[in-house]
Chain A
Amino acid sequence: MMSAYLDFIRIRFLTMLAYRVNYYSGIVIYAINIGAYYFLWKAIYGDQDTLAGFSLAQMTTYIAVSWMARAFYFNNLDREIANDIRDGSVAIQFIRPYSYLLVKMMQGFGEGLFRLLLFMVPGLLVVCLVFPVSLPADPAVWLVYAVMLVFSFLINSQINILTGLFAFFVENNEGMMRMKRVMVDLFSGVAVPIAFFPGWLESTMQWLPFQAITYLPSAVFTGRTPLSEAAGVVLLQAVWFIVLIVPILVIWRSARKRLFVQGG
């Protein structure tokens, strides 16, 4: 059974590989975005040395690594699931002898693997050449960061699956998916690190899963969060991963009972 799931990873990886040219322009796009924020932050720092615990050099690294992490964990599982529900093909998925959600997760993982090898890694190399990014020297940081990145992917995919499953309850969840995307970009700290948020918003964020996607791992990578505290960060990510399984299963169970297929 397990080998069937592994095949989903492989197939998605190969499908993505066929369209790899699309991702070359993706690297340029991410570099453009990183550039916009780089200049913006440079102007904000002016002649201040540190803001919210970040030096300008750390900030540059933060922007670069956060965008490149996004290049890895980003996927359209929400859209794929919503489309399956809307065009009714989810009904076929129900009768197949596998777990639909697990298959989606595996496909997302295949896409993530592709994005890691052909988007994030070359992208980070390009960005390091263009901008003054300082990479951590300690191999332990890289190792911990790799573990955190896996959790980033898992939590982001879980949020995507949750959003996609809402198509069971509303006929068109297009707006919801767009809102989710904006919210994840803002609250995960891709655009602005959460440490910069005003106090009340920062403390709200500590009770939400978004910070575990980008902010927490990137803060460890840049050295703002010392390695000694990294174990706590990984633990927090793991907790969010487990907590988020609950609503997904609840929605999935109740949705199966009320599925109606529009048209056909």
Chain B
Amino acid sequence: MRYGSLFWEYIKNYAKTRLTYRADFWVEIMSDMLFQGMNLIIILIMFQHTQALGGWSQAEVVFVYGFFMVPYGIFSTFFSIWNFSERYIVKGEMDRVLTRPAHSLFQVLLENVDPPSLVGSFVGLGIMGLCWSQLGLPFEWMDIVMLAIFVIGAVLIYAGLYTALSAISFYSDAPTGIVPLMYNIQNYGRYPVNIYNKIIRFVLTWLLPFAFVGVIPASYFLERKADDLSRLALMTPVMGFIVFGLALLFWNHGVKKYRGAGS
């Protein structure tokens, strides 16, 4: 309950600061859309030259991308802590956070909320809807429930991975180039994983489970493929809780090791 009202206060605060620069808000949404649009254009261009990508049709690959956009939008809204190391560790803002009673991760996340990213989720839903009707998939109400469960699981996976990455800076104060590294690896998760070799597929499924953010849960709604990825789909929420749980432990342990930057 207390966290609920805190959440609301943070959002109100965010709205006030952002209303000062209204134009920025729209510019940010525009540039987000352009970035997602570029990835979609790449998919469309590629399918001008082939019928199928590892056994997946164009509508299916676009569907996977649409699904990916939904959890990604939610994740970017609440976990935009790209500059955690510089802002909180190097500049020492973590000190301020730790003097307050609410959980440190909760505070750090809400200080950085970025609601414009949520627009991407709605666009993703729209894309899924279009592909859904184009593929003539049957629709049941249960699908909405499953979609919600998968999205929650996928958001938790993303959230867990990036929380853990940010927590690394508690242990090593040198800025590590690992966040951009991860950001680029996640691109692999948007395409059918069977186009990669065995090692990459294993890594994407079990070590850095980006496949659980896009292609695996999305395949639950699509026609069954030869390697039937959708068998794994129900694992999505389980993976989400495991990844996020481990990340939270890692974060909490890191906070205890945090010693401040001095000055």
Residue ranges of A at the interface with B (Cβ–Cβ < 8 Å): 22, 24-26, 28-29, 32-33, 35-36, 39-40, 42-46, 48, 51-52, 172, 174-176, 178-179, 182-183, 185-186, 191-192, 196-198
- Chain A residues with CB under 8 Å of B178's CB are 25
List 5 A-B pairs, minimum CB-CB distance, nearest first.
A175-B27, A25-B177, A43-B195, A178-B31, A175-B31
B24 within 8 A of A: yes
Are A48 and B50 within 8 A (Cβ)? yes
Are A29 and B181 within 8 A (Cβ)? yes
Proximity string of chain B (130-166) to chain A, C-beta cutoff 8 Å, 1 when within and 0 when not: 0000000000000000000000000000000000000
- Measured CB to CB, the closest approach of chain B to A177, in angstroms, equals 9
- The verdict on A182 contacting B184 (CB below 8 Å), with A51-B49, A198-B48 known, is no
A35 to B187, CA, bound (A): 11
A230 to B211, CA, bound (A): 42
> Residues of B within 8 Å of A, CB-based: how many?
35
Q: Which residue of B lies closest to A193 (CB)?
A: B45
Are A29 and B184 within 8 A (Cβ)? yes
Contact residue among B28, B42, B176, B185 (Cβ-Cβ distance under 8 Å from A175): B28
Are B53 and A43 within 8 A (Cβ)? yes
B261 within 8 A of A: no
- Chain A residues with CB under 8 Å of B6's CB are none
A191 to B181, CA, bound (A): 18
- Chain A residues with CB under 8 Å of B241's CB are none
- Chain B residues with CB under 8 Å of A32's CB are 181, 184-185
Q: Which residue of B lies closest to A25 (CB)?
A: B177
Are B23 and A186 within 8 A (Cβ)? no
Contact residue among A26, A45, A51, A176 (Cβ-Cβ distance under 8 Å from B27): A176
Q: A26-B177, A172-B24, A175-B24 are in contact. List 6 more A-B contacts (CB 8 A).
A: A29-B180, A29-B184, A39-B196, A39-B200, A186-B42, A192-B46
